[in-house]
Amino acid sequence: MSFPVLLLVLGGFLLGGSWSIWRADSDTKGRTGPQVAFAVILLAAALLATASGILRLV
């Protein structure tokens, strides 16, 4: 497995983690501040890993 493909897989994994955290809200309180922050951090990491993988493939 080449490094760009590994970065794309990592980006997909982080994107799935971000989506999972975003969906896990409480029925009464909604999403908490740290939950939103962690989801945004994971989303940014996923975008960076995916973009890096695509740029390394080109």
Q: In whole angstroms, give the CA distance from residue 31 to residue 38.
A: 11
Structure confidence by residue, pLDDT tens digits, 23-42: 887 777 788 888 899 999 99
With a CB cutoff of 8 Å and minimum separation 6, the contacts of 37 are: none
pLDDT of 30 reads 80
Residue 22's pLDDT band (boundaries 50, 70, 90)? confident
Q: Where are the domains of the chain?
A: 3-57
List 50's β-bridge partners, or say none: none
What does the longest C-alpha to C-alpha distance in the chain come to? 47
What is the mean predicted confidence (pLDDT) over 5-16?
Answer: 96
